[in-house]
Amino acid sequence: MLRHLSAIHVPFRLKRPFRISRGIKSVSDTIFVEIRDGNDIGRGESVPYARYNETIDGVLAQIDSARGEIEAGADRERLLEIMPPGAARNAIDCALWDLEAKQTGLSVTERIGWEKLKPVSTAITVSLDIPENMAAAAQQLKDVPLLKIKVDASNPIDAVRAVRAVAPNPRIIVDPNESWSIEQLALWQQQLVDLRVDLLEQPLPAENDAELEGFEALIPLAADESGHVADDLAQLARRYDYVNIKLDKTGGLTTALAMLEAAEREGLGLMVGCMVSSSLSIAPAMVIAQRCAFVDLDGPTWLMDDLKNGVIENCGTMTPPAPGFWG
């Protein structure tokens, strides 16, 4: 019997608007993939991202273009040959991992030789707003171990200072989402040090990365939009201290694992991130999280309703999904 692949658009309404430097969203538009093989079903999810010129229709069309090979039995290695990195390949790759787990009776971590998934501390995001509103949001999060503060180039220090005033204890990641210049980075970095910021994520537009070579950073820098696959890492290691591995960028868990190993060889610190998504996106990312110094997997906490039996976040600790949910 041939496999059957299905892919649909599944929107999730958010509890509140999610703002970053390049826009605002009130709905998370995900792509849900199922691969059925006899009585076994593998599931995967991805989130098309406009930053990479992805659309819902475009990702669905990409998935449909691979349908024939997937239904004929293509494995994850073949998938790397027929699809480029991105959201479409991620959803299929994760569905194949899940299907293999169902068919073999071995969990994903057992198959890669790792221990069972453990809970991790995840960043909880304070989205971009006026400093007073960001402080009000952070007040509710003052006891979590790690905060991620979304900023732009308008008044980032005021925003971070407002959050730090009400949340003196958490570690902090600041994420400008490519909105700063090298001059602004130089101007603001000492103030970020004074505010005890632990990590600065993708301050410059990815196309301006070369400006970071030779720059004397006072605070560790993490590449996000600049780092997609393992081939990017040798160059990134000259400019950044950490790389943020996201499965929607790498095109699935298969290449995320390869990127993790390559980053460790290059001496780059590890971070794992996500889009605003359901637990079906977070479950495979939890595998990568086991090896990361910084974890940012709070996507499902923004949803009005997550999938049943998914991950559970409690005061900044993320617990893996229930057995049988994925992988």
Instruction: Determine which one of 116, 118, 148, 150 is catalytic.
Output: 150
CA 111 to CA 155: how far, in whole Å?
47
Do 296 and 319 meet the contact criterion of CB atoms below 8 Å apart? no
Neighbours of 244 (CB within 10 A): 25
Question: Of 276, 246, 245, whose CA–CA distance to 125 is shortest?
Answer: 276
Question: Of 45, 37, 108, whose CA–CA distance to 73 is shortest?
Answer: 37
Instruction: Determine which one of 102, 148, 246, 249 is catalytic.
Output: 246
CA 128 to CA 149: how far, in whole Å?
7
Question: Of 294, 298, 272, 299, whose CA–CA distance to 285 is shortest?
Answer: 272
**Known catalytic residue at 150:** yes
Do 54 and 90 meet the contact criterion of CB atoms below 8 Å apart? no
- Catalogue the active-site residues: 150, 246
